[in-house]
Structure 1
């Protein structure tokens, strides 16, 4: 299995927000935005692994500004780090006011996806080819976060 670059799996998805996506004041539900984040991260994971992939965690979600009915939601997602079967995907969310033509960063999230084999068991994914200084920094930071998530998950299981 040869290494793949982050650019090979990056994704941009654009979705228009409608009244059924929002509350009566016209603010898009955070849950709708989370759904879109999950969808775009899943595409990145599938592209990289070429396997079925499931969401293991969504964390560090920050809603920075509101998204309104009529906005185009623009989600850009890319791999930060890869371990054996898991992948950390960073998602940036922008809202575009289609009348004014302005774009606003409205949120960010980190998603961990796990690739599964045909029996539903975690399976190896290609390594991440790191070419630039930025990619190496993203990878190191992502691995650090992934290791921290593993520790927290073990701690939570021990408490349960």
Structure 2
């Protein structure tokens, strides 16, 4: 991760918090959704602060995308999580924030890299949420760094459009599904968006949505394995449309692909208003979560194979396998570069 010279008067944001029992599962592993929520909060603060250094309407930065995120080390109850968020690229109407998460054992003083993520925000006027504000530019250390940022911007913009075009319905599972089928572990969570979930615009925080998504994905993984499970990574999370206060969100997770040691779970968030009858249900967010199964010593366990039923499940499994092989090849390439 590189460090540009930011807009005058701004500096990277630092947050920290001790992990409590209600942040973790019964085995003491902190939920991935808690970490994602903290990452998004840091990104929102640093983005909003930067965008309000200019004259004109006051604005609030809203999350539109989270790039693929790896959970590099587990975090446990009692550890202190340190979040560092920094703006690394700005376009006319959006900005990229890169975040590093360190976990500290306060008894030994030892620290470990737990997570790193890249998020994209757009600033929206407080007077009119549909008005996207211009973003103050940052100063870059070199032209090469600015060009690399531009390439990342163009890539995420293209991928967001492609993902939006692939929206499909989620069908309920058949009655009495067999164990280790997609229908057996498929799960849904229904949540009414209240004031505590929302920004100053009365739209739900991106971090709140990601936490719900991680919870549902965790239920799917646990039902498939019947063991302790943890979040290993999250593929790009795309926020297609905003979710307003008073909406009912349905968060659905379903297995798409299983390797020997991991499970890919597609998580889809649909929203509908309780009071605005003309607002029909719509797809708000989508992502793929990867979970692994652990024994009592936090060592990876083999994952039961997924029983595929029908052409659609076969197609999704093949696409998941392609993503798995691509991620595996990238990890090998990254490891070779570091040696």
Whether the TM-score (by the shorter chain) exceeds 0.5 is yes
Aligned match for 1:150, one of 328, 335, 339: 328
Question: Shift of residue 4 of structure 1?
Answer: 1.6
**CA 100–144 in structure 1, closer or farther in 2 if over 3 Å, else same:** same
Tell me the residue number matched to 1:28: 204
Aligned match for 1:119, one of 297, 313, 318: 297
Aligned match for 2:187, one of 2, 8, 11: 11
Question: Relative contact order: is structure 1 or structure 2 higher (C-alpha 8 Å, sep ≥ 6)?
Answer: 1
Root-mean-square deviation (Å): 1.6
Measure the CA separation in 1 of the matches of 2:232 and 2:327.
10
Question: Shift of residue 155 of structure 1?
Answer: 3.2
Tell me the residue number matched to 2:29: none
Measure the CA separation in 2 of the matches of 1:20 and 1:157.
42
Aligned residues: 159
Structure 1 window deviating more from structure 2 (2-11 vs 43-52): it is 2-11
* Structure 2 residue 312 is the aligned partner of structure 1 residue 134: yes
Alpha-carbon deviations, 1:5-60, whole Å to 9, x = none? 11000001111111121111111111111111111000000000111111111112
Tell me the residue number matched to 1:92: 268
Tell me the residue number matched to 1:109: 287
TM-score under structure 1 length normalisation:
0.92
Moved over 4 A (4+): 157-160
Structure 1 window deviating more from structure 2 (149-158 vs 102-111): it is 149-158
Contact 1:3 1:126 in 2 (8 A): no
Structure 2's unaligned 5+ residue stretches are 1-177
Contact 2:246 2:275 in 1 (8 A): no
TM-score under structure 2 length normalisation:
0.45
Alpha-carbon deviations, 1:77-111, whole Å to 9, x = none? 10000011200000110112011353111011100
Contact 2:217 2:253 in 1 (8 A): yes
> Highest CA radius of gyration, 1 or 2?
2
